[in-house]
Amino acid sequence: MQLEYAEVVSDKPVQRFLLKFYLSDIPIENLILISPYVSNLEGTRVTLDSICKKAVEKSIPFYVITRSPQEEYHQQAINTLLSYDPIELRYNESLHAKLYLCLCQDESQSFALIGSANLTRNSIEKNIEIAMMIYGRGRGREILRELSHWGLERLRTLNETRLVKKMKLQRR
């Protein structure tokens, strides 16, 4: 009778996560995207720009942790992120983890994706990726809490994690 709290996603996992975030109409407390490489996701169903716009529109605090850009596509994505207020951007050069978290006011609606996929167009259209989607119910809730502690606190406060851009948020 227990509802599933985790699910293996092998078909475009990052797109699945982003679509779920983008289409949901429930109050979201935080969006956290952690990926060594980031692109603008142009040509995919949910672009980085549209995610940023939703964060602005709904006043959702949005945290991004990535490596400092070495490639043009990565720099373009960083430029997009830098142009929006409710985004905090940090760099960590040792980052290899890929974790995407959407934390909702109602914890049972929260979800996360953890797996191999970077936040890039290649990971959606070209690469073979595998990931787990975790939902905020049953045992999944504890896992989400641990992941959010790691992403929102532990990783952000590591010595080698560097703040690049502070968040500014309109009063809700």
Partner 1 sequence: MDFKEWFCLNGRESFTIDPKVNPDDARFYFGREEIKNRIKGQLRRSFVEPGVPKMVIYGSFGSGKTQTLFHLEHYLQNERPEACRLIPKILHLDLEMHSKSDHKGWHLQLVETLGKATVSTWIDRLFSHTQNLDTELRNIFSNINMAEAAKNLRAGGDIGLLAWRWFCGYELKPNELERLNVTRSLGDLGAGDMVNALVGIGRLAEKNEEKLIFLMDEAEQFKNVKTGDATESLHTYIRKLSEPSNSSVGFIIASYALTQDDMAELLVRADVRTRIGENNFVEISPLPSIRDVQIFLKELLAELVEQNKAKQKIQNESLGVSPETYPFTAEAFEMLCEFASQDTIKSLPRNLIKAVNECAISAWDERKPIIEPNIVNEIAPLIFG
Q: Which amino acid is at 50?
A: S
Which window, 68-76, 91-99, 121-129, 155-163, contacts partner 1 (CB under 8 A)? 155-163
Q: Is 163 in the site for partner 1 (CB under 8 A)?
A: yes
- Going by C-alpha positions, the residue among 86, 115, 87 that lies closest to residue 15 is 115
Distance separating alpha carbons of residues 113 and 25, to the nearest angstrom: 19
Closer residue to partner 1 in complex, CB, 126/166: 166
Structure tokens at 7: 């699910």
Structure tokens at 146: 């641990």
Cα 160 from chain centre: 20
Q: What is the CA radius of gyration of the chain?
A: 15
CB 108 within 8 A of CB 90: no
The residue from 2, 25, 57, 72 that contacts partner 1 (CB under 8 A) is: 2
Closer residue to partner 1 in complex, CB, 61/76: 61
CB of 133 vs partner 1, minimal distance in Å: 17
Structure tokens at 18: 């982003």
CB of 156 vs partner 1, minimal distance in Å: 6
Which window, 37-45, 91-99, 112-120, 154-162, contacts partner 1 (CB under 8 A)? 154-162
Closer residue to partner 1 in complex, CB, 69/138: 138
Cα distances (angstroms) measured from residue 46 to each of 51, 107, 171: 7, 24, 26
Which residues lie near partner 1 (CB under 8 A)? Answer: 1-3, 61, 105-108, 137-138, 141-142, 145-146, 149, 153-154, 156-159, 163, 166-167, 169, 171-172
